[in-house]
Amino acid sequence: MTALDLSSPVAVVGTGTMGQGIAQVALVAGHPVRLYDAVPDRAREAAAAIGARLDRLVEKGRLTAADRDAARARLRPADDLADLADCALVVEAVLERLDVKQELFRALEGVVSPDCLLATNTSSLSVTAIGGALSHPGRFVGLHFFNPAPLLPLVEVVSGFATDVTSATRAYETARAWGKTPVACADTPGFIVNRIARPFYAEAFAVYEAQAADPATIDAVLRESGGFRMGAFELTDLIGQDVNESVTHSVWQSFFQDVRFTPSLAQRRLVESGRLGRKTGRGWYDHRDGAERPEPHTAEKRQPPAYVVAEGDLGPASELLAMIREAGIQVREEDEDNGSRLVLPGGGQLVLTDGQTSVEFRDVVYFDLALDYRKATRIALSASQDTGARTVSEATGLFQALGKDVSLIGDVPGMIVARTVARIIDLAHDAVAKGVATEEDVDTAMRLGVNYPLGPFEWSRRLGRTWACSVLDDLHQRDPSGRYAPSLALYRHSFATEKREGAS
């Protein structure tokens, strides 16, 4: 099954920001495009807005004047649903209400031809449930674009329970012909991106709720150590706290209130107070004119230790040993079967976070996971009230000698980056095991849909296939609510790896 022929008209119903974006994508690809909105004159206003955006593309040299004029000639507002009768594809981008969408598609089914492909751009509702209102749901599919649709490459092509393979394939190939990067997924709450991305927000909020760090510090650690484009607090302020919380709540409810997707009480209070982010001027941050952006916690300058003793290897942080030597600090290596750590001159220990807490041990400082320890510009350290001041000072000075800003946070298991990445890896394994998508499509979706520096399976391969399960096991022991319990899929993955290694 191939993509729709460019001569085939495409209709977009709903002319808000997303609807206009989808229409622009189809139009620039070469299709005749019909715009329909139930509100009088809105389709014409949307057509004018799309025309203005095409003008800007010409000004920027991204579109020729001839191509713009041809695209404008192919764009036509529709006064009635009956005007969509000749369309080969109708994409809906209306209000996120099941009853509204079902009513629309029942009406469309009576207008378009039997072989017209019907698609919803829903981000939170069940594709199966929307298509359940149709007499012929086999031609119904989800086409979930990301905002802004003309710029972001990802499209989730969602097959409902009754979607025909031919319909899903045609939708997939059409999205690809439009210059997008489609990924195929089953109809599951949140699809790929909104399902697997929940821990990115949830774990940041959990660290904040535990009073271990403030939003500016958590965001800085996620960016400068984790390699994420934006931190969770600044990103949700951009998205809108109400929008982000609504998606979280929808996924949580759709999974029958699964504790792994539990919404944040702190975010709920923010929404209740009307602080929705940039669009209201205040969210986690103050975005009003003249407001100062809070700075992340950064430790004062400390003296680095003269040497460190490396016991065992540091696993994902093994590159630090070479960096420490390059900084002129002596590294004494000792074989050690009891774990991996750096012993500081004062006798304290510096350990890569593993899901345990500093208070459980004598004089231990944990350091957080980094995407790339050489490129990271900030490292988070955590210690308990019982950790010696000298140990904290030596650990701080060590990382500062490596050119890093240091943020001291509270004694929370898994810290910030590690617990976030471990949970993302776990949800990804769980999704693939349940047939939601392939590993490759999950990685593609998370890189392109939310700009993650690595896909979950790329993270897993880099960190070692047992790393996430080990971290989550430790977290689960300290919070047995089930939130951090590794999925059966991750257990199987890790155990099978250990078994093969043990047999070799």
Instruction: List active site positions.
Output: 123, 144, 156, 194
User: Among 79, 188, 154, 170, which Cα is nearest to 119's?
Assistant: 170
Containing H/E element for 173? helix 165-177
Residue 342 and residue 349: Cα distance in Å, rounded? 6
Compute the C-alpha angle 125/10/120, nearest 5°.
5
Residue 179 and residue 197: Cα distance in Å, rounded? 24
Is 144 within 8 Å of 158 (Cβ atoms)? yes
Containing H/E element for 92? strand 89-92
Q: Cα–Cα distances in Å, from 7 out to 4, 29, 112, 123, 326? A: 8, 11, 16, 29, 62
Alpha helix stretches (DSSP H) within 192-259: 193-196, 198-209, 215-224, 232-239, 241-254
Residue 122 and residue 256: Cα distance in Å, rounded? 20
Centre a 10 Å sphere on the Cβ of residue 303 and count the other Cβ atoms it contains: 12
Q: For residue 252, which amino acid is it?
A: W
Residue 414 and residue 423: Cα distance in Å, rounded? 10
Q: Cα–Cα distances in Å, from 9 out to 90, 261, 365? A: 9, 40, 63
Residue that has been written with the tokens 């150590």 in this structure: 225
Compute the C-alpha angle 262/426/314, nearest 5°.
120
Partners of 429 in the β-ladder: none
User: Among 294, 463, 441, 319, which Cα is nearest to 379's?
Assistant: 319
